[in-house]
Amino acid sequence: MTVKMIAVDMDGTFLTSQQDYDREKFKQLYNKMKEQGIRFVVASGNQYYQLKSFFPEIATEISFVAENGAYIVSEGNEIFNGEIDPKTIQKVLQILVNFEEGHIILCGKNSAYVSLNEPDEFVAHGQKYYHRLKKVPDLREVKDDTLFKFALSFPVDQVETVLHQLHVALGDKVIPVSSGHGDVDLIVPGIHKAHGLIKLQELWGVKTEEVAAFGDSGNDLEMLKHAGYSYAMGNGQPEVKAIAKEIISSNDENGVLLKIEELLQN
């Protein structure tokens, strides 16, 4: 059993419900990963600037598949940057007007953007995941950035219905995926976490059967289907548990770190 790349989702997977992780234990495991030549990859729907804040000492050593694969940075170097066509951005914003319960963050390479009309509590929620978040008068006027994702938020009990409605309304312009807790991301077709892992594998010569991946939500499905070793969290969504090769302890029980420890012993 050979693992050369370990990819972890963050919210609901690597991070506990308190938005942290056992830093001392991870430090020991990370040093072992380095000794064994195993690459550590953070694969999340969140913004790169937020993700790297969790790993201040090693942010320039590890890799980030951020924004569900739309922005990839490895060892401080930009590897890939997706983009949604500006006309598609305008069309999607037009369609989203019909989803009255939804709140919108438009995500770009330099920053994420939120309308001045959004309630303060939604903006505060967004700032946890987007450390660069600018308030703008009108999302349709955001021009000077490479835009690659919409991050939407709905009441949790509406998500299943909304996902279906978005699929119908958007066609193949952008793909809606659930990222847990009422959040829905609209991503570029074909650009997801698995696409990000493939880019890094090509860079490093890592085979798919040498990849271990951990996740809990709909935006992890492609990555878990792709990886040679796939692990769903005990707290994961049913469809994620159904496709993973193994279900492990929850994010609040150190599930990821315990499994990594096991993988490093083999």
Active site residues: 9
Residue 200 to residue 147: CA distance in whole angstroms: 22
d(CA 66, CA 203): 17
The 3-state DSSP composition of the chain as helix, strand, coil percent (nearest 5) reads 40, 25, 35
User: Which residue's entry shows tokens 């709905």?
Assistant: 154
Give the integer Cα–Cα distance in Å for 128 and 157.
22
Sign of CA dihedral 52, 178, 79, 29: positive
The number of helix segments (H) and strand segments (E) in the chain equals 9, 14
Residues forming beta bridges with residue 23, ordered by sequence position: none
C-alpha 161: how far from chain center: 22
Tokens of 66: 């951020």
Decide if 186 contacts 167 (C-beta within 8 A).
no
Q: How many CB atoms lie within 10 A of CB 228?
A: 18
